A and B are shown apart, each in its own frame.
Chain A
Amino acid sequence: MQITVNGEKHKVEKCLVLSDLLTLLQLSSDQGKLAVEINGQIVPRSQHQNYLLTEQDVIEIVQAIGGG
């Protein structure tokens, strides 16, 4: 199925949960590392392991970087 992650299209297997996607992307969902929004809704860290992705999901993954 196709999903969009940070503006890029990705093809992934069906029945993928969010934590699997983060692993595929080599991202750590440890505390303070990132936040995830799917289709405009934040998915809390506690739900990453259960959140089942669906076709056409638009996913934003953010972090803290330098800024003023």
Chain B
Amino acid sequence: MNSAQDKPLVVAGKTYSSRLIIGSGKYKDFDQNLHALETSGAEMITVAIRRVNLGQHQDKPSLLDIISPAHFTILPNTAGCYSAKEAIRTCRMARELLDGHTLVKLEVLGDDKTLYPNVTETLVAAETLVREDFKVMVYTSDDPLIAMRLEEIGCVAVMPLGAPIGSGLGIRNPYNIRMILENANVPVIVDAGVGTASDASIAMELGCDGVLMNTAIAEADNPVLMASAMKKAVESGREAWLAGRMPKRLYASASSPVDGRFF
């Protein structure tokens, strides 16, 4: 297919040739993470902000020594934050850590069993962060009205969940994702819920601008092979969406002509 007719993904003014964003959690080691990242073709990778381990050897490489900000867009997240205050504090730390880098993944969680977003706190955090000139990619529920509100606030990408974080249950409510897409003027990226390649394809076939995943790759028996599968799934899903799928019909429609039969 001629993918030249497709417009690339643009987030906060930067163009990406890959529509896949991956995480850096749950990998066996940094090398496996890097290998999966390179294989996936992703150009953006999420990281978490945590306390340094005092007493660790300084010569031991850190994540950013292996996955270099010079080669990849680092997307610091606010995972583990349960209030706007914690999330804002984390983003400010991330900006200092990455020398003025303002692109962040905002997620404010509601409870530790579902890891569902706390939407009211997410809205509060998004308003403050946008005011402080952060470029906010926001993890949210699949509520179309909240997605619109987050865009109005000034988030640079809206990232509804497909299913709970780390669940691998796939896109549980494709109709809501479609509604979000219909209203959106910023990239819509499914964040969370993807379990295997077909889930990523479904997200892209719906018309999403991208997919963000961590566990689906990191927890596969062979993460690097799964990273390869996800690359293809995102690309093929995108092409299928661009191609425009045939309508669904309740009954059959013969592919061979009725005319010209000799029997």
Contact = CB atoms under 8 A, between A and B. Distances in A.
B99 A5 contact: no
Interface residues of B, number: 39
B79 interface: yes
Interface residues of A, number: 28
Contact of B52 (A32, A34, A66): A34
B106 to A, nearest CB: 13
Contacts of B62: 33, 63-65
Interface string B14-33: 00000000011111000001
Interface string A8-20: 1000000000000
Nearest to A41: B92
B64 interface: yes
A61 B50 CA distance: 8
B51 A64 contact: no
Given A5-B54, A26-B58, A32-B64, A64 B96 contact: no
Nearest to B76: A64
B50 A63 contact: yes
Contact of B93 (A5, A26, A32, A62): A62
Contacts of A6: 51-52, 54
Contacts of A37: 89, 93
A65 to B, nearest CB: 5
Interface in A18-68: 25-28, 31-37, 40, 42, 44-45, 60-68
A62 B52 contact: yes
B219 to A, nearest CB: 11
Going nearest first, the 10 A-B pairs with the smallest beta carbon separation are: A67-B48, A68-B214, A68-B23, A35-B97, A35-B96, A66-B24, A64-B47, A68-B25, A6-B51, A66-B25
11 contacts: A5-B54, A6-B51, A8-B54, A42-B92, A63-B62, A64-B97, A66-B24, A66-B33, A67-B48, A67-B79, A68-B46
